[in-house]
Amino acid sequence: MRAILVVNPQATSTTAGGRDVLAHALASQLKLDVVETDYRGHAMAVARSAARDGIDLVVAHGGDGTVNEVVNGLLADSDGDPAELGSVPALGVVPGGSANVFARALGLPVDPVEATHQLLNALESGRSRSVGLGLADGHWFTFNAGLGWDADVVGRVAKRRGKETSAGLYLRAAVRSYFRPPLGRPALTVRVPGEEPVEVVTAFVSNTDPWTYLGERPVHLNSGCSFETGLGLFALNGMPLPTVFTHVRQALLTKSNQRGRRLVRHDDVPLIRIDAAEPVNFQVDGDLVGQRTRVEFHSVPGALSVIV
């Protein structure tokens, strides 16, 4: 089996020693090449070449940004329809970032050594999992995308590159973005098949649940959402402080079923379209993509095979 290990040396928990241990362990079972990324988009380029060259497995060692780049590279030639591709390399993940949402949602250990051990066991036993993904405006996402408040938060955090991300940093960015939204709070119109259009002010689109983590605590917005279902929508038609506090509290409860009079929520939907009255920030998997006035979010079942 031919494999490529893609390592982001700038990720929070990656070290040269850990990379060498991981590479040595994988090389005992695989014909392995190792690539360290050194610019934005490098992991995507490596994964795209791997898919075109018929590589069997690509292992991403880094945070959610590295995983997202690898996923987008593996499916770069799909045009939103993996069935047209034929064989796509399997994905392996060894966490190395600060949040590691995708890996944790899959049930993988956060510790890189433990994750490596589990990956090797899965390879030896031929164990894998078919995972559905989201596709929005040409960008694949593994766990979440959104317009409005969450994208504003991601944008603020992105401006502090060089500082280690933490739950505290995201909380401060969330508070600042709530009281001083950088682009204001334009109206968003949400369209879901079979439902009337609804006007909201912020929208989260999830590909699985939990949506993210606050330290060790999972954050639940759409408890009926998973890698085996369609997308989940969580949107608010207003954001007074009592509403925000109510939903934050519910989100931090184990398997909470979110409810509220300002909440617009759907689980397991194939398509979500959101139109903005003015340009708003747009993020996928915690990475600010830019500003948009319209985005369509598609659920793509069984898009990838993940070694777990």
The residue extents of the domains of the chain are: 2-127, 141-303
pLDDT for residue 239: 96
pLDDT at 241: 96
Q: What is the pLDDT of residue 164?
A: 61
Paired strand residues for 94: 61
- Residues whose CB is less than 8 angstroms from the CB of residue 27 and which lie 6 or more positions away in sequence, other chains included: none
End-to-end CA distance of the chain: 17
- Domain 2-127 sits in CATH at 3.40.50.10330
What's the pLDDT score for residue 253? 84
Q: How many CB atoms lie within 10 A of CB 277?
A: 13
Q: Please state the pTM of the whole predicted model.
A: 0.93
Residue ranges for the chain with pLDDT beneath 70: 79-86, 161-165, 254-255
Q: Which residues contact 292 (CB under 8 A, 6 or more apart)?
A: 137, 147, 276, 279, 280, 282
Phi, psi of 272, deg, nearest 5: -135, 130
Q: Architecture of 141-303 per CATH?
A: Sandwich (2.60)
pLDDT of residue 217: 86
> Crossing angle, helix 167-179 and helix 149-158, to 10 degrees?
120
Nearest to 308 by CA among 74, 131, 154, 157: 131
What token pair was written down for 142? 């593994």
CB of 204 within 8 A of CB of 221? yes
Count of beta carbons in the 10 Å neighbourhood of residue 167: 15
Please tell me the predicted confidence (pLDDT) of residue 270: 97
Which residues fall within 8 angstroms of residue 192, CB to CB, at 6 or more apart?
Answer: 233, 266, 269, 271, 272
Burial of 245 (0-12, 13-18, 19+ CB in 10 A): exposed
In this prediction, residue 251 carries a pLDDT of 92
- Report H helices in 75-165: 101-105, 112-125, 149-158
Token pair in block for residue 33: 């090449």
The tens digit of pLDDT for each residue in 239-279 reads: 999 999 999 999 988 667 899 999 999 999 999 999 999 99
How, if at all, do strands 31-36 and 2-7 pair?
parallel
Q: How far apart are CA 1 and CA 88, in angstroms?
A: 14
